[in-house]
A = this chain, B = another copy of it.
């Protein structure tokens, strides 16, 4: 699968996810301001890599011979939407003045700059709660144990031992100006890799994957997560450096703990290449073929420009 293929496949998934999110967030019983604040951040979504992964893995593993194909894909779409709502809420809270204090997000003023800080806290809370409401409401329709397993995977990796744990550690590292390799991996794994892993495993649960497949996919997800963070840090450093006319960006200058600030830009780029090779090899060793989507995602993530 070449770079062109994966882009058009993900574009198709993006269309599906955006339409489903639109339907899911009519929110007729939600007061206007809260609804607007929730939708403002949800609509600002970018490539929606996590929901694409849910759909892509589910399609890859379930093929066309699955008897309950319709429901399998519908389950994946509901979980994909829930996951994106959770990801979006995490960005709103990350941008708050008491956390990263970011005024801009994806080229627009961040949520609290538009709706005020208190309302941004609530917009995040509402999106997080609504993610579970949405997934539960549909779960009653599906009556499928794997669907609930996937929901549990999402909750675990989004919460107190996953993403929120990573955000909390990141805030400590920031305050203490920590520059420590073990801490960097600890934060990265929870803050970034866990949600990508949740996406991949949720898709796999929908397709009724077995233990062996789940284990391989978890190892793949770990590598994809590391690759994602490396390229994120590299893009940030290069973007900031271009703005500042310097070799390294503001994260490095501010001693923010990133792969670039810790290892330097060139080493980070080498690490990204290496981890991509390992991820491809892992897939080749475990899926004879049929894993084209996941091969494609490695390069999609490595070669992205934003």
The A18-32 residues at the B interface (CB cut-off 8 A) are 27, 29-31
0/1 per residue, A170-188, Cβ < 8 Å to B? 0110000000000000000
Known: A117-B98, A118-B98, A145-B143. A159 touches B133 (CB 8 A): yes
Residue A300 CB within 8 A of the other chain: no
Residue A243 CB within 8 A of the other chain: no
Residues of the B chain whose Cβ atoms lie less than 8 Å from the Cβ of A34: 160, 164-165, 168-169
Q: A213 to chain B: closest CB distance in Å?
A: 19
Known: A121-B98, A139-B148. A155 touches B168 (CB 8 A): no
Residue A125 CB within 8 A of the other chain: yes
Complex: A2 Cα to B209 Cα, angstroms: 56
User: In the assembly, how many copies of this chain are there?
Assistant: 2
Q: Are A164 and B98 in contact (CB under 8 A)?
A: no
Complex: A130 Cα to B121 Cα, angstroms: 18
The residue in chain B whose Cβ has the minimal distance to the Cβ of A30 is B160
Residues of the B chain whose Cβ atoms lie less than 8 Å from the Cβ of A96: 118, 121
The residue in chain B whose Cβ has the minimal distance to the Cβ of A35 is B160
Residues of the B chain whose Cβ atoms lie less than 8 Å from the Cβ of A29: 160-161, 165
Complex: A304 Cα to B173 Cα, angstroms: 45
0/1 per residue, A75-89, Cβ < 8 Å to B? 000000000000001
Residues of the B chain whose Cβ atoms lie less than 8 Å from the Cβ of A149: 140
Residue A225 CB within 8 A of the other chain: no
Q: Are B136 and A152 in contact (CB under 8 A)?
A: yes
Residues of the B chain whose Cβ atoms lie less than 8 Å from the Cβ of A125: 89-90, 93, 124-125, 128, 159, 164, 167
Complex: A136 Cα to B136 Cα, angstroms: 10
Q: Are A121 and B140 in contact (CB under 8 A)?
A: no
Residues of the B chain whose Cβ atoms lie less than 8 Å from the Cβ of A90: 125
> 17 other contacts beyond A129-B160, A133-B159, A140-B152, with CB at 8 A cut-off?
A30-B160, A31-B165, A31-B169, A89-B125, A93-B122, A93-B125, A96-B121, A119-B168, A122-B171, A125-B128, A126-B160, A126-B168, A130-B160, A132-B155, A133-B160, A137-B152, A148-B148
Ranked nearest first, the 6 interchain pairs of A and B with the lowest CB-CB distance are A129-B159, A29-B161, A98-B117, A133-B155, A126-B160, A98-B118
Question: Residues of A at under 8 Å CB distance from B?
Answer: 27, 29-31, 33-35, 38, 89-90, 93, 96, 98-99, 116-119, 121-122, 124-130, 132-133, 136-137, 139-140, 143, 145, 148-149, 151-152, 155-156, 158-161, 164-165, 167-169, 171-172
